[in-house]
């Protein structure tokens, strides 16, 4: 079994789609991972529900159950398999598209309509290039990579295997480099480097990853980047780091592996974020962080200290009242003396 679980109920039941546990219909498969939704397990119309092996039922369940160690991960694996089957149906070249004669295209590659593939591009096997994708000269793309509609990959960038870039994202645009001049104007600094996305990287829609001034902007293996993220020139993002939407990372900052960055975070340039650091949403990070450090706020500071500060701030009206009472009592004692 793909989910690797234990079946309770009718092992012969068939499904043809997926559904949320609170809305699923007969013939659909759902999952339950969050205890907040357990009530729907006893009323769902889903034919099959994937649940955690540790869940103890409180009522009879009409659906067939599949017990697994981690319901969320098992459901994700099924969805990935379903998506892979759908993509296998895509093959060949749609017209019109342009593929330069010098480009090397691997086996079973799909190239959608109005795609452009430049000079000396190298494309691996089983790559999916959706309509209106632009791939500049001397780009290298590894096996099983997927570029969704409207993606732009500038010249000399390198994408590894099993990379996914979602619609509208731009890989390799010029970094924001301008030298101030004596007359107050700014002179553009040529951006001569590239962007490297290592294996298993995923980039959300409408994100931008700028090419390096010299060398490479590097997103290391397994990193996941949300929609609307800006990564500047010469940044390095460590393996298996996750970055949520609307985050901006300034130039030459080095981010370690396994870092978790919330939405709308701003990070200044030329600093280091240690491995497994955690940055809360809407934080402003202005200095380097040690490995494992958790921060919040703007400017960002220790997460635990911030929570204590918030707890104290909520008690300020009560503390003010107590202080006024103490002042009144002190005034009475002073009068008696």
CATH code of residue 198: 2.160.10.10
Closest CA to 98 of 111, 108, 107: 111
Tell me: do 189 and 40 sit in the same domain: no
Tell me: do 137 and 239 sit in the same domain: yes
Tell me: do 211 and 325 sit in the same domain: no
Domain end call among 88, 105, 139: 88
Tell me: do 67 and 213 sit in the same domain: no
Does any domain span residue 216?
Answer: yes
Q: What is the pLDDT of residues 112-171, one digit of tens each?
A: 999 999 999 999 999 999 999 999 999 999 999 999 999 999 999 999 999 999 999 999
Q: What is the pLDDT of residues 294-334, one digit of tens each?
A: 999 988 768 777 777 777 777 888 888 888 888 888 888 87
* pLDDT band, very low/low/confident/very high, at 99 (cuts 50, 70, 90): very high
Residues 257 and 274 sit within 8 Å (Cβ to Cβ): no
Please tell me the predicted confidence (pLDDT) of residue 175. 94
Tell me: do 130 and 50 sit in the same domain: no
Residues spanned by the domain of 215:
92-304
Q: Report how far residue 227's alpha carbon sits from residue 242's, in angstroms, rounded to the nearest whole number.
A: 12
Does any domain span residue 38?
Answer: yes
- pLDDT of residue 1 exceeding 60, the answer is no
Tell me: do 182 and 102 sit in the same domain: yes
Please tell me the predicted confidence (pLDDT) of residue 337. 58
Mean pLDDT (whole number) for 208-223: 98
Domain end call among 88, 117, 146: 88
Q: Is 325 exposed, middle or buried (0-12, 13-18, 19+ CB in 10 A)?
A: exposed
Tell me: do 80 and 96 sit in the same domain: no
Residues 214 and 236 sit within 8 Å (Cβ to Cβ): no
- Which of 126, 138, 233, 240 is catalytic? The answer is 233
Supply the CATH number for residue 72's domain. 3.40.1390.10
Tell me: do 19 and 156 sit in the same domain: no
Tell me: do 74 and 203 sit in the same domain: no
Tell me: do 56 and 127 sit in the same domain: no
Tell me: do 105 and 204 sit in the same domain: yes
Q: How many domains does the chain have?
A: 3
Does any domain span residue 42?
Answer: yes
Does any domain span residue 1?
Answer: no
Residues 242 and 260 sit within 8 Å (Cβ to Cβ): yes
Please tell me the predicted confidence (pLDDT) of residue 3. 65
Q: To 10 degrees, what angle do helices 316-336 and 303-314 make?
A: 60
Task: Calculate the CA 123 to chain-centre distance.
Answer: 24
233 is catalytic: yes
0.85 cut: is pTM over it? no
Tell me: do 202 and 316 sit in the same domain: no
């Amino acid at each position: 079994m793909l989910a690797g679980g234990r079946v309770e109920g009718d092992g012969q039941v068939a499904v043809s789609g997926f559904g949320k546990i609170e809305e699923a219909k007969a013939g659909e498969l759902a999952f339950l991972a969050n205890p907040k939704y357990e009530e729907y397990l006893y009323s769902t119309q889903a034919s099959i529900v994937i649940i955690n092996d540790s869940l103890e039922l409180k009522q009879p369940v009409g659906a067939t159950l599949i017990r697994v160690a981690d319901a969320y991960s098992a459901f994700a694996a099924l969805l990935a398999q379903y998506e892979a089957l759908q993509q296998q149906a895509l093959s060949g070249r749609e017209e019109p598209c342009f593929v330069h004669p010098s480009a090397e295209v691997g086996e079973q590659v799909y190239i959608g309509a109005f795609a452009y593939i430049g000079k000396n591009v190298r494309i691996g096997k089983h790559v999916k290039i959706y309509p209106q994708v632009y791939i500049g000269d001397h780009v290298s793309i590894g096996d099983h990579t997927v570029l969704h509609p409207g993606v732009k990959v500038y010249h000399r960038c390198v994408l590894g295997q099993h990379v996914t870039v979602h619609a509208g994202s731009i890989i390799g645009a010029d970094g924001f480099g301008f030298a101030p001049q004596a007359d107050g104007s700014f002179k553009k600094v040529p951006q001569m480097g590239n962007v490297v996305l290592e294996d298993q990287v995923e980039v959300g829609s409408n994100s931008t990853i700028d090419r390096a001034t010299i060398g490479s902007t590097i997103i290391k293996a397994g990193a996941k980047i949300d929609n609307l993220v800006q990564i500047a020139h010469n940044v390095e993002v460590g393996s298996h780091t996750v970055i949520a939407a609307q985050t901006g990372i300034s130039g030459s900052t080095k981010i370690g592996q396994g870092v978790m960055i919330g939405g709308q975070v701003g990070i200044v340039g030329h600093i280091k974020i240690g491995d497994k650091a955690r940055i809360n949403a809407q934080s402003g990070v202005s200095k380097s962080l040690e490995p494992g450090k958790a921060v919040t706020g703007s400017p960002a500071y220790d997460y635990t200290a911030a929570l204590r500060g918030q707890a104290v701030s909520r008690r300020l009206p009560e503390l003010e009242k107590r202080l006024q009472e103490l002042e009144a009592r002190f005034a009475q004692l002073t009068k008696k003396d």
